[in-house]
Structure 1
Amino acid sequence: MPPQMKLTAITPDCSDPLALAAFYRRATGFELHPKSHDDFAGLAREAGLCIGFQRVDDYRPPRWPGQDAPQQFHFDFAVDDLDEAEAMLLELGAGKPEHQPDADRWRVFTDPAGHPFRVTGN
């Protein structure tokens, strides 16, 4: 039997780990890891999943929906109210791309580092 693997962290590249961690901390309520610093910042929750953000020199943000700088990954978040979540995210500094394939069911945003993420209504 293969060993059991448990996902413990997701770590996107960015140019400013502390700023990106602050954005997602306000959006999700996850706690900032006490050992976060200029080159790596982490957010954690009780269940153990960590979202990390690591500094990369000459970081190039992805472009949604184009593929000249591909998105490589994206987060998906579920919310009770899409409109309320959208207002909060835009106030926190998220971008909202013009291309929205199914805005009645889910919406695409970009974080301050340019990573696309999706918010889906319950």
Structure 2
Amino acid sequence: MSPQMELVAITLDCPDPAALAAFYQQATGFEPHPKSDADFAGLTRADGLFIGFQRVEDYRAPSWPDQVVPQQLHLCFAVGEDLDEAEARLLELGAGKPDLQAGGDKWRVLTDPAGHPFCITTR
């Protein structure tokens, strides 16, 4: 049997690592990584999962749902039972909401302040 891989980190390109880390820190409660700086910021969950944000010059935000600039990946977050409440909180934190919403009452697609699409869903 081949060894299984354990996901330990996810890193997103962005124009402003500190700002994007602040958005996700408020949204998730992950702890800021002590070695974050202007070019790379990170957040760590209690179990060790790390989300990193790296500065990329000439960053172009994904253009979901069209693929003029592909999304390349998206994150999914379970938010409890009330999608409306979670969506409202994330919008207050600076998330965007694309017009296309195919998930109905099962999930919503939002975008972080750097334009990366992410989904919220009930548990």
Q: Same fold (TM over 0.5)?
A: yes
| Structure 2 alignment gaps of length 5 or more | none
Distance 2:110 2:2 in 1: 37
TM-score if structure 1 supplies the norm length? 0.96
Does 1:112 pair with 2:113? yes
State the match for 1:67 in structure 2.
67
Does 1:31 pair with 2:31? yes
Does 1:47 pair with 2:47? yes
TM-score if structure 2 supplies the norm length? 0.95
Question: Which runs of at least 4 in structure 1 moved beyond 2 Å after TM superposition?
Answer: 1-5
Displacement of 1:45: 1.0
1:12 is paired with a residue of what secondary structure?
A: strand
Displacement of 1:79: 1.2
After superposition, the C-alpha distances for 1:29-58 in whole angstroms (9 at most, x for unaligned) are 000001000000000011111000000000
Does 1:22 pair with 2:22? yes
Distance 1:32 1:75 in 2: 19
CA RMSD of the aligned region, Å?
Answer: 0.9
State the match for 1:78 in structure 2.
78
Displacement of 1:121: 1.5
Count of residue pairs the alignment pairs up: 122
